[in-house]
Structure 1
Amino acid sequence: MWKSMFIVLSILFGAYMVECSAYDDFDCPKPNGQYEDPFQCDKYYECKNGQATEMMCPDGLVFNSRKRSHNKCDQPFNVDCGDRKDLQPANPEGVCLRQNGFFPHPDSTICNIFYNCVDGQHMEMSCASGLHFDLKTGTCVWAENAGRPDCNNNANKKLKDGFQCPTVYEQMNKDGQMISHPTYPHPDDCTKFYICLNRVEPRQGACDAGLVYNEEIERCDDPDNVPGCKNWKTGSPKQ
């Protein structure tokens, strides 16, 4: 029987703990404290004066009895659930496989990009050059240690002309977020440019006849609008 319902803000994860119901079948080891459910890793019991209340961690987090803070819901890679393998049904939202946690890019060949999800809202994150997102630890590790065979082998390669995607990404969109597929001008040819797919795989692109690449607007444009390429119509070298 439902006794009460309340939500407690978790400062660490920006998530919530939800009180489910008074529970008479759980024997509190001590009159007061928080104790794990023997079967379900994201369920636990809050005991007050010997009365147990069934509690549930936010979707994606599990109970960590070793945490010193009052909110003991934690990321799964920080907790050894042992035989407590049961979990609440997932509540996915977009790229978030659960409401909270760290999740890989939906394309299994893209291993350097992952998502930090809090309450179903995601933030895209990138590993440093040469690192891949590790599904088990939720961190970036060396590619050979990640154990992800589908990863794109073209990442961080060089094109024949020597172009390689930068390892430091500085291009942001109008909302202040990193651009997923940034473009860069060709050093010698105004009609050509480079695309870094997922910021790591280089490709070369070319503008339609009569247009040149404009770095400021990140697309092809009239030569008169691009400094150094105004005379490109006549075939003059890039200035």
Structure 2
Amino acid sequence: MQKAHQLPQSAKLRLWLCPPHLNIHSSISLTRWTRRGIFIDAINWFSIISMNLLAGVHLRGPGRQEFQCPETNGIFADSEQCDLYYVCEKGVSFRRLCDDGLLFDDSIRNREKCVLPHNVDCGDREFVQEPAEGIDEGCERANGIFDVIDPSVCDNVIGSCVRKENRSPEAKSCEEFPGALVEIEGFTCPGKEVIGPQNLIQQHPVYPHPSDCQFFFTCYFGKDPHKFGCPHGEVFDASSLTCKEPVEVPECACWYGCGEDSSCSEEECNPDCSCAKK
């Protein structure tokens, strides 16, 4: 096991967004987690694009004792490492590692998942895996929101960090008219302060798409809109800021169709399952 070290505190100049990648790492090397580190300003992505637990990673390393399942079946956090968890099946434990930059959140029983670090309380779980290799130079982790000192694309950059081989013109966005409100598919950030559930100002509030139940927008610093989406078959729930099954979101229950038992034709079916008037 490599010697653990503290994550550096980065300068707060410009923002880079690193969306989740399916990078599976079997390394047991660890980095010490710190609330004062680079993750402190991570956006509240509410587990939209990082909510899936990554399966299939078995970790083996010196000095690590086998995990004893507290229950026959379930998902449980590691006692030392904040991005490591265990899946217990019939009393047998299997180690699983979150994707690089994500942390294991077990705050809601039976809804455990790997998410971006915002609002994750690691407690005594002070270690995380070493940063992944081969990621964009603007990213310190494969997933997350990180400040960069010298973006080289244009004067005012909000960029999506992608692997070098996946670079494309769409991966960078430059503000043509600084200070002007940007509109994307009929949506414009309100440009005002938003108070979150913990009575704290949200730096990057999230809003539903005005006409598409599958998608939503994140307003970086309240003014720069970026479009994201739920997996196909799910819809965005504006009340919980998560992706859910359509039946759990009344206003979008029939976004993918009204179903065979509906009196609406396919052309008449509204997202809320009502029939459009001809």
Q: Could you say whether these structures have the same fold, taking a TM-score greater than 0.5 normalized by the shorter chain as the test?
A: no
Higher RCO structure, 1 or 2 (CA under 8 Å, sep 6+): 2
Q: Give the TM bin, normalised by the shorter chain.
A: 0.3 to 0.5
User: How high is the TM-score relative to the length of structure 1?
Assistant: 0.41
Q: Which has the larger radius of gyration?
A: 1
| TM-score in terms of structure 2 length | 0.36
- Higher strand residue share: 1
